[in-house]
Amino acid sequence: MQQRSIVRLGVPLAVAALALSACGSRDAGTTSTAGSGTKTVKIGVIAPLSGGLSALGLGIKNSVDLAIKQANETNAVPGWKFELAAQDDEAKAEVGKNAATKLSSDDAVLGVVGTLNSSVAQQTMPVLAAANIAQVSPANTNPTLTQGADAAAKKRPYTNYFRTCTTDAVQGPFAAQYLLGAGIKSVATIHDKKTYGQGLVDAFTVEFKKGGGTVVAAETIGENDKDFSAVISKIKPNSPAAIYYGGEYPQAGPLSQQMKSQGLSVPLMGGDGIYDPKYVELAGATANGDLSTSVGAPTESTEAGRKFLDQYKAAGFAEPAAAYGGYAYDAAKAIIEAAKTALKDAKDVKSARAAELTALGKVSFDGVTGKVAFDEFGDTTSKILTVYKVDGGKWIASKTDTFK
């Protein structure tokens, strides 16, 4: 939002100065409501608010907005009013980096919820870290974001980064165990070459082979591909009992539809990136039997989840909370909970950022998605996941369990 000028033509400077004094300081992070002494603190959102993944991104933004509204209604942090600062990353790394740069230049921003894509997070994390701004993702699942590239010598790359969802190191193996338990011993894997998709397939493959399964083909596609005939033709002669896909629903849905129409009539299974009604719409009638995993228990299956969904509906948002709404809500609540400590005696937001990071690492509360707390890497301590199956044109929960 552009700052509105309070100085008009012909108004003496002295009068303008008085007007500025009456309105309170306009410095970022110290904006005050006239006569109230209330200061503004912003929670940013970086997510795809347009494009193919906007169904997920808008659910994230709206859920953060709900948490902010509730915090202001209850005066969660006395003397401070929360505002939403949402940025569209279009699910593109460079756009996300620019969004992070914009938010980091705003001294009123205390924390950011996002991103959806792990590949985008790789670009936003160092930018926000340089400004000491907390980032809490409701959806990034690539393990390297919190534990570094060397799995044998885990090291947290950025201490400002946290997440409320579990990782591919858990989600991929959980899917492998499910398929093996269902008697499926041979699969073909496909991923979209992006950080999320490749990481998910890698983690799945290790666990599936360890459990006695065979990967009969390992293929890749481009993230913008629409015709999958070539990769289907390569896989079909190997007769896999299922396809495991690493990527998101814009490609996964058409892939499922095309492979069935070409005679490869086996279930397609993916991660949380395909768990959305849009997948079923894109995959069509032959999607029945397809599978996905997603973090946590089904939102509607718990009392806290049902309460959140009722509050979300009552707030009148045009879009559904989607797969990550509860996790985004909990991410925003974690930032707000930490702010109760960080902002207590702070003169402005920028000076409170270091204290926010310390307090965030210690939060512990019962959230929409379960217990919200972080380990030494910034990862959630919750390892609950659910397998969903398409049945009658809808995703239906098949199994919820804690990964062991």
pLDDT of residue 26: 34
Question: DSSP assignment of 3-24, as one string?
Answer: PPP-PPTT--HHHHHHHHHHH-
Domains 31-166+301-373 and 168-295+385-402 share a fold: yes
- C-alpha 183/C-alpha 211 separation (Å) is 11
pTM: 0.83
Which of these, 162, 250, 249, 244, lies nearest to 203 by C-alpha position? 244
Phi, psi at 182, each rounded to 5°? -90, 5
The rounded distance, in Å, linking the Cα atoms of 68 and 61 is: 11
Pairing verdict, β 186-191 and 161-163:
unpaired
Nearest residue to 138 via CA among 272, 250, 252: 272
Asked if 309 and 322 touch (Cβ cutoff 8 Å), the reply is no
Instruction: Identify the pLDDT of residue 36.
Output: 60
Tens digit of each residue's pLDDT (9 = 90 or more) over 44-62: 999 999 999 999 999 999 9
Domain residue spans of the chain: 31-166+301-373, 168-295+385-402
Superfamily of domain 31-166+301-373: Response regulator (3.40.50.2300)
Using CA atoms, how far apart are residues 122 and 237, in angstroms rounded to an integer?
A: 37
- pLDDT for 151: 84
**pLDDT tens digits for 291-329?**
999 988 999 999 999 999 999 999 999 999 999 999 999
Tens place of pLDDT per residue across the chain (404 aa): 333 333 333 333 333 333 333 333 334 444 454 446 899 999 999 999 999 999 999 999 999 999 999 999 999 999 999 999 999 999 999 999 999 999 999 999 999 999 999 999 999 999 999 999 999 999 999 999 999 999 889 999 999 999 999 999 999 999 999 999 999 999 999 999 999 999 999 999 999 999 999 999 999 999 889 999 999 999 999 999 999 999 999 999 999 999 999 999 999 999 999 999 999 999 999 999 999 999 889 999 999 999 999 999 999 999 999 999 999 999 999 999 999 999 999 999 999 999 999 999 999 999 999 999 999 999 999 999 999 999 999 999 999 999 87
45 contact partners, CB below 8 Å, separation of at least 6:
60, 61, 64, 84, 85, 86, 87, 112, 113, 114, 328
Amino acid letter at 127?
A: V
**pLDDT recorded at residue 18:** 33
Distance (Å, whole) CA 84 – CA 111 = 10
Query: Topology of domain 168-295+385-402, per CATH?
Result: Rossmann fold (3.40.50)
